[in-house]
Structure 1
Amino acid sequence: MNSKSAPSSDIAFTPTVKAIQSRKGSRATYAGIEQRGGWQTTIDPDLASFIGEVRSFFLATANSEGQPYVQHRGGPPGFLRVIDRNTLGFADFKGNRQFITEGNLEDNPKAFLFLIDYALQRRVKIWGRARMVEATPALLARLMPEGYRARPEQILLFEVEAWDANCPQHIPQRFEADDVARLLAQRDARIAELEALLAARDDT
């Protein structure tokens, strides 16, 4: 990164934020990050792997007056997909048709993704710009989860500008119901197998 350019973390660390960090004693830590260029700006293999397991996330936008809006998006694992090192995309399924996010993005393309994995107690914050585009056959072939019964209405493309992974502190550990059901089924099958072996021994 050019030493004269602002660190990527400045996307969130405004002068006001930095002043508060100084006042509350955390500025030195983040200044060190800034000296190394700030946060990552491209999708590396570790982030791509994490995204590949995501089942839900939150998308934040703001309208032309700065009014924020947060929307949940969910689907099968990996429905949020890496298109290239700088771009994410997903099929936007039909919902309540309020179109608040789409309207906000037409006025203000700045957007934010908040990804959290409760089982692994990991969260990732991604800043960037987003836009809604037509759900063309080519994009649907690339972004629509195979076999998923939902109606795609459009496509959202997200250009990554910076991202940061938070520590697991204070994230409650929770597990997906189908993951728990699968593990319980495996346990029950193993118990049945062992009981059958014991019964066979008793019969001899």
Structure 2
Amino acid sequence: MTHPDSHQHAYPSDIAFTPTVKALQSRNGSRDAYARMEEEHGWQTRLTPDVAGFIEQQTSVFLATVSSEGQPYIQHRGGPAGFLRVLDDHTIAFADFAGNRQYITAGNLAENPKAHLFLMDYAHRRRIKIWGEARVVDDDPALLAKLMPEGYKARGERVIVMTVRAWDVNCPKHIPQRFEAADVAAALQERDERIQQLEAQVAELKREAAVRGD
């Protein structure tokens, strides 16, 4: 697998900002701003600890691949937090659980290794886009066992390993704020317990007032 730093791009963002994209940016007035971004603080190719933590917190992500004919395909991947594992600062891997057995993603990667991960944190209105190349590993049971979430009721069939070439964090504009059902339930339980405590305190104060004859 080619290391991301070895790919011949003037800037990491060139993986997405093709000449045609840059021409459209120029036509629509945004090229100067993105040119400054490229020069001053462009996209990164290595996963920072903050981004690695964000990746491993996700329970739902989207993986995009492309067939040899150029047909894109986006597949949802889900699991408990930590099912996405950052193996080092340019490698992400996860167990591929048994599903509907269409094998579109695996087939696309056999023909074209280019892949994209789209991660969305609705609660904190944060999204990260990751470009790279991915490969399917069918013959490494030790790695598969290592990546299987403990206690999760799923059957791992293979491993998908992605080498990161570039990543970018988008602004929160237009991201609806949504929360996990489990987090909402926990917050409501905490609220109800606090209400019960306050009601008990009020009842005790009323009893004390009655004894004093207030």
TM category (shorter chain) comes to: over 0.9
Q: How far off its partner does 1:135 sit?
A: 6.3
The one-letter code matched in structure 2 to 1:182 is: A
Q: Cα RMSD (Å) of the superposition?
A: 1.7
The one-letter code matched in structure 1 to 2:28 is: K
Task: State whether structure 2 residue 73 is matched by structure 1 residue 107.
Answer: no
2-structure distance, mates of 1:44, 1:135: 30
Task: State whether structure 2 residue 95 is matched by structure 1 residue 82.
Answer: no
Residue 57 of structure 2: SS of its match in structure 1? coil
The one-letter code matched in structure 2 to 1:58 is: F
2-structure distance, mates of 1:28, 1:178: 44
The one-letter code matched in structure 1 to 2:83 is: F
Residue 143 of structure 2: SS of its match in structure 1? helix
1:9-158 to 2 correspondences below 5 Å: 9-36=13-40, 38-134=42-138, 136-158=140-162
2-structure distance, mates of 1:142, 1:51: 17
Taking a change above 3 Å as real, the CA distance of residues 135 and 79 of structure 1, as seen in their structure-2 partners, is farther
Taking a change above 3 Å as real, the CA distance of residues 36 and 5 of structure 1, as seen in their structure-2 partners, is farther
1-structure distance, mates of 2:144, 2:157: 10
The percentage of counterpart residues that share the same residue type is 63
1-structure distance, mates of 2:103, 2:9: 36
1-structure distance, mates of 2:52, 2:173: 22
Residue 194 of structure 2: SS of its match in structure 1? helix
1-structure distance, mates of 2:141, 2:11: 38
Out of 176, 179, 182, the position equivalent to 1:175 is 179
1-structure distance, mates of 2:58, 2:139: 21
Maintained 8 Å contact 1:57/1:113: yes
Who wins on radius of gyration, i.e. which is larger?
2
Maintained 8 Å contact 1:57/1:72: yes
Maintained 8 Å contact 1:135/1:153: no
Taking a change above 3 Å as real, the CA distance of residues 5 and 110 of structure 1, as seen in their structure-2 partners, is closer
Residue 105 of structure 2: SS of its match in structure 1? helix
Q: How far off its partner does 1:200 sit?
A: 2.4
The one-letter code matched in structure 2 to 1:160 is: V
Maintained 8 Å contact 1:135/1:152: no
Out of 179, 182, 207, the position equivalent to 1:203 is 207
Q: When the two structures are aligned, how many residues end up with a matched partner?
A: 203
The one-letter code matched in structure 2 to 1:57 is: V
Residue 82 of structure 1: SS of its match in structure 2? strand
Q: How far off its partner does 1:202 sit?
A: 2.5
Taking a change above 3 Å as real, the CA distance of residues 169 and 134 of structure 1, as seen in their structure-2 partners, is same
Q: How far off its partner does 1:137 sit?
A: 3.8
Counterpart residue number, 2:212: none
Out of 182, 189, 194, the position equivalent to 1:185 is 189
2-structure distance, mates of 1:17, 1:98: 33
2-structure distance, mates of 1:178, 1:5: 43
1-structure distance, mates of 2:57, 2:9: 34
Runs of 4+ in 1 over 6 A off after TM superposition: none
